A and B are shown apart, each in its own frame.
Chain A
Amino acid sequence: MDQFNRRAFLARASLLGAFVGAGVSFPGALNHSMRLVGRANAQATGSAVLDAVEEFSLDTMRALCVMVMPGPDEWSRQQGTPREDPGPIEVGGGEFMKDLFDNYLAMGDQLARPLALGMGTALADMGIPAEPFLGLSEPDGRRIDEVLGYVYSDRVLPLSLPVALVLNTGALLVNPGSITGPLGSPFSRLSLGDKCRVLEGIEGPVPELIAIVDGSLPAPLRGSASGFLRFAGGIMLQAAAFGVYSEQNTFNRQTRTVEPRPVPWELTGFRPTGLVDGHPEFVGYYQNRTEVPADA
């Protein structure tokens, strides 16, 4: 089972990202556009593997966010819905989603192992040439563990990886041509309609994508791990919508102030003068009923 531990799982994940992003053998140069997008958790690791993991996940999360808030960005243009008003890239939507998933689970390796097993099998079935890279060098592997131990608590699984893998596995199924092109992941290269087809595969009454993973899982987690992925699939758009239409990007937790004015507040006309403690919105009582007697 050693090849299915977290390290191997991450290696597979990073390889998909590196492979599809660069189109060259790992650990070769990454796609230039991926370098530009930055990283959610900017750790100066010097590890190309971790860089690929982070950027692959972030790119996928950005592609998810523009589904619920298209904007003037490359991801929206790629999905076919560019517009001039600000979108989720401007409010850090991808970083928000990555953080949400990466810190969501008070959970350790036990979930990662079966997911790695299922995902690895699924990738192999799809002909993703990950095999040459399974044998990560020890120094690379240690760096991943050290960084994860620093960025995340020991008991939190960076869930953005399996979520990104599910979306990108689906992207390759829906549109095999998405394996190459602009941006850093197959999912981000899809049209809005094709992205919807990927989500349909996850959340439908017969979740086709999940079935691929589920078939490879060891009992007794067969229902549980895949069930969890179905849950994650279901909340992707809800969570993205919540995050990108909130104040999250300009809220200062120390001062509990919102500065500058959040983009979504501007877009929706919410709280023109900022957060206030009340409004002149009282218009009276219906039919002047201020009380209902207990015995009426």
Chain B
Amino acid sequence: MRDVIVIGAGGGGPVVAAELAGRGLDVLILEGGPRHADPENQWSHAENDANNPNNGFLRFGPEDRDKPAWFREWTDNLFIWQLSGVGGTTQHYYGNSPRPMPGAFRGYTGADAGEYDTAHLFPFSYEELVPYLEWVEDTLPVETAAMGTKEELTFRGCEGIGLPVQTSRNITRPAFRPQQNAILQPGGNSGRTDDANLLTYPQATGCTFCGHCFQGCYVPRRAPRNQYAKRSTDNSYVPLGLAADAVRPGGRAFELIADSFVQRIHHEQEGPHSVARGVTWRNNTTGEVFSEDARVVVLAGGVTESPRLWFNSGLPNPNDWVGRGHTDHHFDWVVGSFDEYTGNSKGANSAARMDWPGRGGMENVGLGPAIQAFTLSLSDSGVRGVYDNGRGLYGPWDGPSGRLVGNELKDLMMGGIDTLLNFLVITDDHVQSRNRITPSLFPADENGAPAKVDVTLRDRSPRTQENREFMVHKSVEIMRAAGAKKVYRLDWAPLLLHVHSSMRMGESDQNSVLDANAEARWVKRLFIADNSALANALGGPNPTLTTQALATRTAEKIFQLYFGGDPWVRAEAPVVSTDPRISARMNAMGL
């Protein structure tokens, strides 16, 4: 019997696994997707090779790229860009690691307290989370981003509208700042050359400004895995867990099994509660099925797959909130075209950020031509100037909102990929029960009923819609102040990149699945440690850092509740995931 089985090696699972392995527990971590053990020789910087939803190396599917991707049912014009594989969606994220808005937590008393989703607050205070945020910030580590040209332009725009610079990690007022990114900053030749011979480790360290964050990060070449610039969990917490015995007294390396999809969580009735007992999984390649028992099970399959596994396991759902409350930051997209070089396709893909507490935020995003064209073709307003699906919104942007087609799109693209600047609008998206994940009625695959994603296109709460419009207007102001000659608003259809809260923790047992410890209210010894555990959309900041801080806290709760241990975050110092002892272990393992 294992001490702990963690389901999912994405953004959250490896955090719990590595922390508990560091405390000497026997931890097994299972991942449904591939283990990209040698990305330098398995990946490329090419956009379709990486991101094709059918057979890209970063997709939602099994290890064998010739096998079909896994099916999910979507009910509308929406797309969830989650990934399977060790590292999960952090494999292609931009490393943005801002802290959450304090107003998203219980007990906040600022003047803007009423501006947030107060019906769905975290069941503990922001102050309680801060030590865990700091712990994760040190472990990854999270660092202040350097500038490329696109950041210089963005900051010029922010200065142009009189926005102040934020000098705290905590978000306290409307302000802009360099991103706090889980990316190692450039050292040596990084950022100073495009000569491949000068960009290998250790003469180059940290971010080389290659511009390919969305295609996964394997730079600088020849670096040990834990020294790759972007701190996705396959580069940070997984190496930490694999070297747990080398960096913590009494630590024990965790066991990682990839390409193995968990089909069922075992449970049995014990008094008034169900109790989790273990899991069954299937090797995608061989078809073999395995089972193991565990004292504690941690579910970290992601916002879409965690509810799916819950339903397929027949776990209890007495208040019908499993899968509900899905939030996605109700994104929008603003593009500016410039007469000058913007550096759009180069550098860390997002290194500048603006926040409006109580409303949301926005960030700049650098892109290559394929994803740039994709972003310009995604809209709920139909085709710009032709049909509008009942929207076609007008405002300070040029012309109606809507996707670009024909010569307008091609002419804009041919104006040069490096004359464009993109802002992603990230809305404080209030929790709504109707946005949900349920089992699909389409035929089951080998792992049971697939997930049906039912997220409304337009029926967001009035406050969410108001927040989105507010942030779009601010984005356009900044874009013009930065020097854009023309500004486009896309009015994006749901592109689900930041997803949260489908198994939310909460103050009330009437609208949450998890208690304040992230333990399932009706299934003891079962904890959740991915974005689905988040109580709300955090006020707008990218969710990974908060999920990882919460997962660290959850690991402590597990250690205290079921293994008689003491918490450590306030008592000890974190191990930085670039630690030379971890590098030595990675070298020894050929990683």
Contacts and interface: CB of A to CB of B under 8 A. Distances in A.
Interface stretch (A2-10, A117-125, A163-171, A275-283): A275-283
Interface stretch (B5-13, B295-303, B370-378): B370-378
B408 to A, nearest CB: 10
B405 A68 contact: yes
B76 A68 contact: no
A192 B369 contact: no
Contacts of A137: none
Interface in B62-78: 67-71, 73-78
A175 B206 CA distance: 57
B55 interface: yes
A270 B369 contact: yes
Interface stretch (B86-94, B231-239, B383-391): B383-391
Nearest to B391: A205
By CB atoms of chain A within 10 A, which of B46, B51, B211, B403 has the most? B46
B417 A241 contact: no
B565 interface: no
A46 interface: no
A106 B70 contact: yes
B190 A104 contact: no
B48 A247 contact: yes
Contacts of A246: 46-48, 369-370
B436 to A, nearest CB: 14
Interface residues of A, number: 84
B70 A245 contact: no
Contacts of B177: 286
Nearest to B390: A205
A153 interface: yes
A107 interface: yes
A127 interface: no
Interface stretch (A12-20, A36-44, A141-149, A226-234): A226-234
Contacts of B443: 107-108, 110-111
Contacts of B151: 283, 286
Interface string A266-296: 0111110101111111111111011110101
Contacts of A258: 46
Contacts, number: 283
A244 B47 CA distance: 11
A251 interface: yes
A241 B346 CA distance: 21
B196 A296 contact: no
A20 to B, nearest CB: 24
Contacts of A177: none
B85 interface: no
Interface stretch (B164-172, B243-251, B254-262, B478-486): B164-172
A280 B191 contact: yes
B147 interface: yes
Given A245-B370, A278-B219, A292-B167, A227 B48 contact: no
A84 to B, nearest CB: 12
Contacts of B319: none
Contacts of A230: 75-77
Given A203-B77, A284-B147, A294-B134, A269 B377 contact: no
A242 B375 CA distance: 9
Given A241-B373, A242-B371, A296 B54 contact: no
B387 A200 contact: yes
Contact of B44 (A221, A275, A282): A275
B389 A204 contact: yes
A155 interface: yes
Interface string B132-149: 001001000001101111
A205 to B, nearest CB: 5
A276 B210 contact: yes
B287 interface: no
Contacts of A289: 144, 167, 178
Contacts of A24: none
A180 interface: no
A251 B151 CA distance: 31
B456 to A, nearest CB: 12
A199 B383 contact: yes
Contacts of A192: 405-406
B199 A292 contact: no
Contacts of B389: 200, 203-205
A104 B67 CA distance: 10
A267 B414 contact: yes
B68 A106 contact: yes
A126 to B, nearest CB: 22
B48 A243 contact: yes
Contacts of A231: 74-78
Contacts of A241: 370, 373-374, 376-377, 409
Contacts of A193: 386
B377 A104 contact: no
Interface of B: 43-49, 51-55, 67-71, 73-79, 134, 137, 143-144, 146-149, 151-152, 155, 165, 167-169, 177-178, 180, 185-186, 189-194, 196, 199, 204, 208-211, 219-221, 343, 345-347, 368-374, 376-378, 382-383, 386-387, 389-390, 403, 405-407, 409-410, 413-414, 416-418, 440-443, 445, 452, 458, 493
24 contacts: A70-B410, A83-B410, A107-B71, A111-B442, A156-B68, A193-B386, A200-B387, A204-B390, A224-B440, A231-B78, A234-B77, A242-B47, A245-B373, A264-B373, A277-B196, A277-B208, A277-B220, A278-B208, A279-B209, A279-B346, A282-B192, A283-B152, A286-B151, A291-B143
Given A227-B75, A237-B403, 5 more contacts: A197-B387, A268-B413, A270-B417, A278-B209, A286-B147
| Shortest beta-carbon contacts, A-B, top 10 | A234-B77, A282-B191, A278-B208, A246-B370, A245-B373, A246-B48, A241-B373, A241-B377, A106-B68, A248-B48
